[in-house]
Amino acid sequence: MSRNLPLSANIELLFHEVGDDPGERVRAAAEHGIGTVEIWSHSDKDLDALAKALDATGTGLHTLLIEGRLPLSDRNTHQEFLGHVRAAAAAAVRLGCSRIVTGSGVGLPYMKRAVQHDIVVEALRAGAEIAAAHGVTILLENLNTRVDHPGTLFDTTAECLAAVRTVGSPGLALLYDAYHSLQMGEVPEHELTGAMESVSHVQIADLPDRTEPGTGTVDWAAQLRTLRRLGYDGPIGLEYRPATESRASLQVIADVAASL
């Protein structure tokens, strides 16, 4: 593993100073030395133009979202979800991206949680087969219910990990979002010890307001050291709302990553 832990910039939130064009944001990230980026939706973008910017800068697209935000504990949504998986997988292949992200969707108040878990697993298992056939992986993301995503069913890392392990497919892995985990009061070391084989990506933002690392309450040097010690060697996804100009907002986390 290289000494300098790589960073991956979410260009929906970062490099907004150069305008709304995703290609220009890719170029701005590359000019700042960031060679990996992430996006959310794909259906609202000119994928040819984005692919051209990625190719021209040698930038990798690390993740994009499976669109729809459907409640997967409702079997009536599964066919629509699988259609979104196919669309996201096709977009990912077109853009050279190997990871497509989903959550569980909101829970259903009239159904026991364990039953809902099993139904979500059914959807993820079917989706994982489609993803694997395209050569991509679905990343199941833990999302907090305390601040950002009220009602979400899988709001803990443990439940997401349980689903990934139950499916047991190369088409499904965990996106560990440290911001959401910390908002839920979790201790990352406790959640991830013995689980790193299921983790395909990590994203971060500072607490309490989802701003850049260094503006909140989290000791990022300690958290990144923990991730490395546990065996994570991929990019650190920067999914925060910059409180300052994007390039300036990167300084603290870049210095921390370089010091490990």
Which residues are identified as catalytic? 141, 239
As beta bridge partners, residue 101 has 65, 139
Tokens describing residue 204: 């971060």
Tokens describing residue 17: 């100073």
Tokens describing residue 166: 């139950």
Q: Write the single-letter amino acid at 233.
A: D
As beta bridge partners, residue 36 has 8, 60
Tokens describing residue 115: 């039953």
DSSP string across 174-223: EEEEHHHHHHTT--HHHHHTTTGGGEEEEEE-BTTTTB-TTSSS--HHHH
Sign of the C-alpha dihedral computed for residues 151, 114, 87 and 237 taken in this order: positive
Contact status, residue 163 vs residue 124, Cβ threshold 8 Å = yes
